[in-house]
């Protein structure tokens, strides 16, 4: 029996562009669903919402907010779960600080984010804020493995309306630079636990002293446990060399990390790059910078703000920057460099964008240039390196004829590196890090030096088995090439292969699958899609993320259009909307010009799947009718080119929602499976059609001047509604 207090479907409240889109789209969903007796509730997983839920003691009774993320985290473990998950902000420190400041200015007496906590009280506040930082949402909700692909109509639309792709020339100087030793890839050790075990991580000093870095770990039998580290010295030497080479090669220096998801390791690596790039400044003014509270991990933007009143240091910075290779820019108009904010350049979005542009990035002069793409760790860098080599050799991909790479990703229960931040440490002094099991066995041991970044990641047996089964099911459904992107020479992957092979053999399907290292799998998949065929990439958690941006951006222009299904291990469904993020640039455009170019196609696809799931899971035939009509409406959006345009004055996100509502109502009015629903939606469809002109002109006249949302992270709902629902005629129909 369904728990009557849980809505049939939960739609998440998030941040930035997708949340703006929700202000327009969710009322439509709720109106239509209600007519079919389907309830659609919301849960707030926005950055501001999570901050407010974390500090009830600092807030007044009215200001307090329930911990919706924790509730959703429980829900996804129940078979009742049916959640539509929109992308949310994974906050870097500068974003978290900005969000806290905004909330404080709105009258929420939150504590400041303690940058360098010294007292116990400050440390406690910091620990609370740290739980909100980075990718704090997805790992909690993703209690299943992932199935991401372009829905058939979306793929054919992209083929019929191919987007522009930058040209590649053989002479392109763009390349990927990666460490060949001393990185996570080369230092990795991995073992599969035969029995369940507890573990602790200790740092043993040269003097024999023991520091417990982490205690109380526990793993079920069959867990694959990895440990590795990145040498700080090797990283610095590598960065210094690449900064020099970039200048010699005459390219842009660009650094590509994932400081949001890898929230402990990657801001540290980012900080090393900031220090390496400004080495002469740190050598000369290191003490002054420290005194000014500079933390290189927060980026050049923060550093510059802290030396605003120190002309000598500013001059030195300018001199060094002028002498270095030009930097790849986030926003050349505003002088925002690659090293300004750790979360501005995120590898899974930044590398595909650069590749799609023909290996070009924006330089400080506002023009496109070749770039040296610095990706320190070598675990996954070969994917980008091989893609670049392949396009240099063969020229750009043609989206009109290209096939598609689907993905089955191992993700459940914080699998692999993406679950490693609680077990990642910046090493305080030389010694050796040991991972010690409850019975005293030393599972892994590494000699480390001050500043090295050591981490352990784990992957549980049940998710691995579920992932292999999902791959078998998908391959059977598609009948196409299917490749496990696993490298037998890499410690972790070798353990996974020991799981994969016996399962494939036992099921008698080994001949339908290949196992290839990421570099070889990249080339094979590119060759396959070049021929117009489909390939299924069966990957771990990081490649799931990277590939479901890389291939969609090449094939469809954006990963926002992806179907992204998480089959929850306990029976529920989590439907992610697209494979991209929350598009901060889109908010900027809306605020300046009142035009929202966010494409809700991901939401449309997810809604269709969610209704279909509701129909199957609870025998809800009305939900089935509603879901089929959603698919028809999505098809209508594509067939009639109703997706948002990028430019102000042209139809935007809000127009696309009008069209979606109209096609949805028309499909419901004309279907014959449920006459009651048909009768209900007939007049709605008619009214939406008759009033087309009025609605479109009301929507159009809203555009062109700045829009006031009353906030960025914590917008004013009334103001947002006024901006996002500017058509009184449409509002009267939707209610
Ligand atoms: P992003 O938001 O995906 O943005 C990259 C670019 O992709 C956008 O600037 C936009 O290109 C395009 N794009 C993405 N979604 C789109 C849509 N629905 N319609 C049209 N264009 C779309 O990636 P990001 O800048 O790396 O990340 C931004 C934030 O999102 C970060 O806080 C990140 O952590 C978070 N994030 C969350 C999730 C998640 O919750 N699942 C996933 C990834 C990232 P144009 O500017 O050219 O229009
Ligand atoms: Mg991604």
Residue 619 C-alpha to ligand 2 middle, in angstroms? 34
Residue 33 C-alpha to ligand 1 middle, in angstroms? 28
CA distance 469 to 489: 24
Residue 503 C-alpha to ligand 2 middle, in angstroms? 29
Which residue's C-alpha comes closest to atom 16 of ligand 1?
560
Q: CA nearest 713: which of 99, 86, 90?
A: 99
Concatenate the DSSP letters of all residues of 647-702 into one string: STTS--HHHHHHHHHHHHHHHHHH-SS-HHHHHHHHHHHHHHHHTHHHHHHHHHHH
Ligand 1 site residues (CB inside 6 A) read 87-90, 138, 260, 343, 346, 349, 558, 560, 578, 580-585, 597-599, 602
Q: CA nearest 455: which of 283, 724, 721, 213?
A: 213
Rg (CA), the chain: 26
Ligand with smallest separation from the Cα of 550: 2
**Ligand 1, residues 582, 596, 637: which to mutate, most atoms within 8 A of Cβ?**
582
Q: Looking at the predicted structure, is the pLDDT value of residue 169 above 90?
A: no
DSSP 455: E
Q: CA nearest 263: which of 89, 446, 68, 111?
A: 89
Helix H or strand E encompassing 405: strand 404-409
Which residue's C-alpha comes closest to atom 34 of ligand 1?
90
Ligand with smallest separation from the Cα of 564: 1
CA distance 655 to 24: 10
Q: Looking at the predicted structure, is the pLDDT value of residue 529 above 90?
A: yes
CA distance 416 to 102: 35
Q: Looking at the predicted structure, is the pLDDT value of residue 4 above 80?
A: no
- Burial zone of 490 (CB within 10 Å; 0-12 exposed, 13-18 middle, 19+ buried): buried
Which residue's C-alpha comes closest to atom 15 of ligand 1?
560
Mean model confidence pLDDT for the chain: 96
Ligand with smallest separation from the Cα of 559: 1
Model confidence pLDDT, tens digit, residues 315-329: 999 999 999 999 999
Q: CA nearest 94: which of 271, 312, 352, 283?
A: 271
Q: What is the pairing mode between strands 442-448 and 453-459? A: unpaired
Please compute the mean of the pLDDT values over residues 190-216 and round it to a whole number.
97
Please compute the mean of the pLDDT values over residues 36-65 and round it to a whole number.
97
CA distance 26 to 16: 15
Model confidence pLDDT, tens digit, residues 604-615: 999 999 999 999
Residue 264 C-alpha to ligand 1 middle, in angstroms? 21
Strand, helix or coil for residue 191:
strand
Residue 332 C-alpha to ligand 1 middle, in angstroms? 19
Q: Looking at the predicted structure, is the pLDDT value of residue 723 above 60?
A: yes
CA distance 321 to 355: 26
Please compute the mean of the pLDDT values over residues 42-67 and round it to a whole number.
98
CA distance 386 to 2: 49
Residue 95 C-alpha to ligand 2 middle, in angstroms? 19
Residue 645 C-alpha to ligand 2 middle, in angstroms? 23
CA angle 593, 598, 600 (to 5 degrees): 145
Strand, helix or coil for residue 459:
strand
Q: Looking at the predicted structure, is the pLDDT value of residue 362 above 50?
A: yes
Q: CA nearest 654: which of 711, 717, 722?
A: 722
Which pLDDT band, with edges at 50, 70 and 90, does 43 fall under? very high
Q: CA nearest 698: which of 731, 733, 675?
A: 731
Model confidence pLDDT, tens digit, residues 617-651: 999 999 999 999 999 999 999 999 999 999 999 99
DSSP 553: H
Which residue's C-alpha comes closest to atom 38 of ligand 1?
581
Model confidence pLDDT, tens digit, residues 327-351: 999 999 999 999 999 999 999 999 9
Residue 277 C-alpha to ligand 2 middle, in angstroms? 27
Its pTM stands at 0.92
Ligand 1 atom closest to 135 (CA): 34
Please compute the mean of the pLDDT values over residues 492-509 and round it to a whole number.
98
With a CB cutoff of 8 Å and minimum separation 6, the contacts of 435 are 199, 200, 201, 225, 227, 442, 443, 444, 445, 456
CA distance 58 to 65: 11
Which residue's C-alpha comes closest to atom 37 of ligand 1?
581
Q: Looking at the predicted structure, is the pLDDT value of residue 722 above 70?
A: yes
Please compute the mean of the pLDDT values over residues 193-215 and round it to a whole number.
97
Residue 337 C-alpha to ligand 2 middle, in angstroms? 21
Q: CA nearest 348: which of 113, 172, 546?
A: 546
Token duo for residue 510: 């080994």
Ligand 1 atom closest to 580 (CA): 3
Which residue's C-alpha comes closest to atom 31 of ligand 1?
89
Which pLDDT band, with edges at 50, 70 and 90, does 3 fall under? low
CB-CB contact of 28 with 663 (8 Å):
no
Model confidence pLDDT, tens digit, residues 402-454: 999 999 999 999 999 999 999 999 999 999 999 999 999 999 999 999 999 99
What per-residue confidence (pLDDT) applies to 2?
Answer: 46
Residue 331 pairs in a beta bridge with: 336
CB-CB contact of 133 with 397 (8 Å):
no
Residue 582 C-alpha to ligand 1 middle, in angstroms? 4
Find the length of the chain. 735
CA distance 383 to 230: 20
Helix H or strand E encompassing 314: helix 311-323
Beta strand ranges found along 206-281 (DSSP E): 210-219, 224-230, 252-255
What per-residue confidence (pLDDT) applies to 1?
Answer: 37
Model confidence pLDDT, tens digit, residues 72-87: 999 999 999 999 999 9
Model confidence pLDDT, tens digit, residues 370-401: 999 999 999 999 999 999 999 999 999 999 99
**Ligand 1, residues 14, 15, 47, 87: which to mutate, most atoms within 8 A of Cβ?**
87
Please compute the mean of the pLDDT values over residues 532-549 and round it to a whole number.
98
Ligand 1 atom closest to 576 (CA): 41
CA angle 17, 717, 73 (to 5 degrees): 65
Model confidence pLDDT, tens digit, residues 285-311: 999 999 999 999 999 999 999 999 999
Q: What is the pairing mode between strands 481-485 and 360-362? A: unpaired
Residue 456 pairs in a beta bridge with: 227
**Ligand 1, residues 583, 596, 647, 713: which to mutate, most atoms within 8 A of Cβ?**
583
């Amino acid at each position: 029996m369904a728990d009557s207090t849980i809505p049939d479907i939960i739609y998440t409240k998030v941040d930035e562009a997708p949340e703006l889109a929700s202000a327009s789209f969710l009322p439509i969903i709720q109106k239509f669903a209600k007519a079919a007796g389907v309830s659609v509730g919301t849960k707030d997983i926005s950055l501001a919402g999570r901050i407010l839920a974390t500090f009830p003691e600092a807030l007044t009774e009215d200001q307090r907010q329930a911990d919706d993320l924790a509730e959703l985290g429980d829900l996804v473990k129940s078979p009742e779960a049916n959640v539509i998950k929109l992308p949310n902000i994974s906050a870097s420190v500068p974003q978290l600080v900005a969000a806290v400041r905004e909330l404080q200015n709105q009258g929420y007496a939150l504590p400041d984010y303690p940058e360098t906590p010294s007292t116990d009280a400050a440390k406690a506040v910091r620990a609370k804020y740290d739980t909100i930082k980075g990718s704090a949402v997805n790992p909690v909700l993703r209690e299943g493995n992932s199935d991401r692909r372009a829905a058939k109509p979306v793929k054919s639309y992209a083929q019929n309306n191919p987007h522009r792709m930058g040209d590649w020339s053989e002479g392109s100087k763009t390349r990927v630079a990666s460490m060949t030793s001393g990185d996570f890839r080369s230092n990795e050790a991995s073992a599969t636990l035969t029995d369940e075990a507890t573990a602790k991580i200790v740092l043993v000093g040269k003097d024999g002293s023991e520091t417990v870095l982490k205690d109380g770990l526990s793993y079920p039998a069959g867990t694959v446990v990895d440990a590795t580290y990145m040498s700080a010295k090797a990283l610095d030497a590598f960065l210094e060399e690449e900064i020099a080479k970039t200048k010699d090669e005459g390219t842009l220096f660009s650094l590509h990390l994932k400081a949001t998801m890898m929230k402990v390791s990657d801001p540290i690596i980012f900080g090393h790059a900031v220090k390496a790039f400004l080495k002469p400044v740190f050598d000369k003014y290191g003490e002054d910078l420290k005194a000014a509270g500079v933390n290189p991990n927060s980026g050049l933007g923060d550093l510059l703000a802290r030396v605003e009143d120190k002309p000598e240091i500013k001059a030195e910075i300018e001199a060094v920057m002028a002498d270095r290779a030009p930097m790849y820019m986030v926003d050349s108009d505003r002088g925002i460099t690659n090293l300004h904010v750790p979360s501005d350049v995120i590898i899974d979005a930044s590398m595909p964008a650069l590749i799609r542009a023909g290996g070009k990035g924006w330089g400080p002069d506002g023009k496109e240039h070749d770039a040296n793409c610095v990706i320190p760790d070598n675990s996954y860098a070969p994917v980008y390196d091989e893609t670049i080599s392949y396009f240099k050799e063969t020229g750009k991909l043609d989206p009109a004829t290209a096939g598609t790479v689907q993905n089955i990703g191992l993700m459940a229960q914080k699998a692999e590196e993406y679950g490693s931040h609680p077990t990642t440490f910046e090493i305080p002094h030389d010694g050796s890090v040991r991972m010690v099991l409850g019975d005293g066995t030393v599972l892994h041991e590494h000699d480390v030096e001050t500043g090295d970044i050591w981490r352990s990641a784990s992957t549980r047996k049940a998710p691995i088995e579920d992932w292999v089964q999902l791959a078998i099911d998908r391959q059977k459904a598609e009948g196409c090439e299917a490749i496990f992107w696993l490298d037998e020479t890499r410690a972790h992957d070798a353990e996974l292969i020991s799981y994969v092979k016996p399962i494939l053999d036992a099921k008698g399907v080994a001949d339908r699958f290949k196992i290839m290292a990421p570099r070889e799998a990249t080339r094979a998949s590119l060759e396959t899609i070049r021929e117009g065929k489909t390939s299924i990439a069966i990957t771990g958690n990081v490649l799931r993320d990277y590939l479901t941006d890389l291939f969609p951006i090449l094939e469809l222009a954006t990963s926002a259009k992806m179907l992204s299904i998480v089959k929850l291990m306990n029976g529920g469904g989590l439907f992610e909307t697209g494979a991209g993020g929350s598009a901060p640039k889109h908010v900027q455009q809306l605020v300046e010009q009142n035009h929202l170019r966010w494409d809700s196609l991901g939401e449309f696809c997810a809604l269709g799947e969610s209704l279909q799931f509701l129909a199957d899971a609870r025998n809800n035939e009305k939900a089935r009718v509603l879901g089929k009509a959603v698919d028809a409406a999505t098809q209508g959006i594509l067939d009639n080119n109703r997706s948002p345009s990028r430019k102000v004055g042209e139809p935007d996100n809000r127009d696309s929602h009008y069209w979606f509502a109209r096609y949805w109502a028309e499909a419901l009015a004309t279907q014959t499976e449920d006459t009651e629903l048909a009768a209900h939606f007939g007049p709605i469809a008619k009214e939406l059609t008759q009033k087309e002109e009025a609605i479109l002109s009301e929507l159009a006249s809203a555009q062109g001047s700045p829009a006031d949302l009353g906030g960025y992270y914590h917008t004013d709902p009334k103001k947002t509604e006024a901006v996002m629902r500017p058509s009184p005629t449409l509002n009267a129909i939707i209610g």
